[in-house]
Amino acid sequence: MSLKTIHEIDIVKAPHSKIASVDFDNLIFGNTFTDHMLVCDFKDGAWGKPLIKPYEPFLIDPSAKVFHYGQAIFEGMKAYKDESDDVWLFRPDQNLERFNKSAVRMAMPEVPEDIFLGGLNEILKLEKDWVKKGMGNSLYIRPFMIAFGTGVVAAPSTQYRFMIILSPAKAYYSGEVKVIIAEHYSRAANGGIGAAKAAGNYSAQFYPQKLANEQGFQQIIWTDDATHTKLEEAGTMNVFFRIGDKLMTAPVSERILDGVTRKSIIALAKSMGIAVEERSVLVEELIQGMKDGTLKEIFGAGTAAVVSVIRAFCYQDTTYELPVQDDSFALKLKEKLTNIQYKLEDDPFGWTVKIG
C-alpha cells in the first residue's frame, strides 16, 4: 500500500529543535517527544484542517467530556529507518482500521484516511531525523482522540480532538517475565469495550497489575470474565501458547484486542510451516502441558516489545517454570518480524510502507 496524500494541512515549524539535547542511548520509553505534533479538531459535524505545530501543552475546559465520561481512544505504532536512511511504517492501514472501530464503539467520529495516514506521512517527513538507524531503534507513534466538548451531561461529546505525538524509542527489553493467571479480576467482558483501544481499558488494569507486581510478577494473563478458565491476553499484549509443535492463541472477540503484531505473527508462523490454532485455550491445558511436558512456550505479542517471552506462570499459588527451548518459536518469529520491519529481509506480505 501507499500512504494517501493530504492536500489540506498547515505546518508551523518549531523555531529550534531540541534533538541535540536528547541522549538517544538512554531513552526511557514514552518520556521524550519530538519537536512537532499533529492536531485536528472535529466540530459542527465535520473535521477541520489538520495542523502540524511545535509540541506543547494546550488549554482544555475543565468540563471537557474526556474528563467526565472517558471518551478517549488511541493507537500504538512505530516507524523504522533502514540502512539507506528511508523511513518505513508497518501495516499502518491496520492501525487506522482499528482506530476507527474503536471510535465507532465509543460513539466518536471516524478519522478520515487522509488525515490519519496522510497527516502521519507529513509529520514523519518533518521529524525524519528523530528516527535512528539500527536494530531496536524506532520512533513510537501515538495517535489518539479525546472528547473536547464541554458540559457534564452524560451524553457523547459533539467536539473532538485528534492528535499524533511521536517518541523516540530503544529496544524494549523485558527480561525474564513471570506472570500470574487471573482468577478474580477481568480485563473485559462480553458486550463491553475490550476490543477497543479505549483509555479506560488500561486504567482498569492498573490495580490488579499493582497487586501482581507486589507478588513478584511482571504481568497478568487475563481470563474470561464468566468462568476464569479461558486464557485471553497477557498484560496489554495478545498471548500465544506452544503446546507440542502447535501454536495457539485466543480468537479475537468483544473481549480481545485485534492486535496488529498478533495477526502478523499468525501469518508468519503459517508461512514458516508452523501449525496455528485460533481457539480458546484453557488454564487446565497449561497445567496438563506442564505435567506431561507438552507445554513448550508462552509469549506475549505487541507493538512495544514485539515478542515478550514468558518464563514462568502462577496459578492457585503454584508457580510453573517453563523450559528453555533451543528451537524457540517465539525467538524465530520475533527475528523474522523485526527483519521485515527494519527492511533486512524481503517483505513478501507487502506490510511495510515508505514515508515520502
Distance CA 180, CA 219 (A): 7
| Cα–Cα nearest to 265, from 349, 353, 197 | 349
- What integer pLDDT is reported at residue 4 of this predicted model? 75
Instruction: Give the single-character DSSP code of 183.
Output: S
Say what the pLDDT of residue 293 is.
97
Percent of all residues in the chain with a pLDDT value above 70, rounded to a whole number: 99
pLDDT tier at 5 (50, 70, 90 boundaries)? confident
- Domains annotated on the chain, with CATH: 10-171 (3.30.470.10), 177-341 (3.20.10.10)
Q: Measured between alpha carbons, how far is 155 from 148 in angstroms, rounded to an integer?
A: 13
DSSP-derived 3-state class of residue 247: strand
Confidence (pLDDT) at 176: 75
Alpha carbon distance 316, 287 (integer Å):
11
What is the reported pLDDT for 174? 63
Is pTM beyond 0.85? Reply is yes
Mean pLDDT over each residue of the chain, to the nearest integer = 96
- Predicted confidence at residue 1, as pLDDT, reads 67
Residue 310, pLDDT above cutoff 80 = yes
Residue 240, pLDDT score? 98
- From the list 343, 348, 356, 355, the residue with the least C-alpha distance to 82 is 343
Q: How confident is the model at residue 71, as a pLDDT?
A: 98
Of 84-93, 251-260, 290-299, 329-338, the least confident: 251-260
Q: Which of 350, 299, 302 is nearest to 329 (CA)?
A: 299
Angle at alpha carbon of residue 231, lines to 229 and 237, rounded to 5°: 155
User: How far is residue 153's CA from residue 203's CA, in Å, rounded to a whole number?
Assistant: 23
User: For the ranges 48-52, 106-110, 301-305, which has the lowest average pLDDT?
Assistant: 301-305
**Percent of the chain's residues with pLDDT above 90:** 95
For the stretch 139-157, pLDDT in tens is 999 999 999 999 999 999 9
Count CB neighbours of 198 within 10 A.
Answer: 22
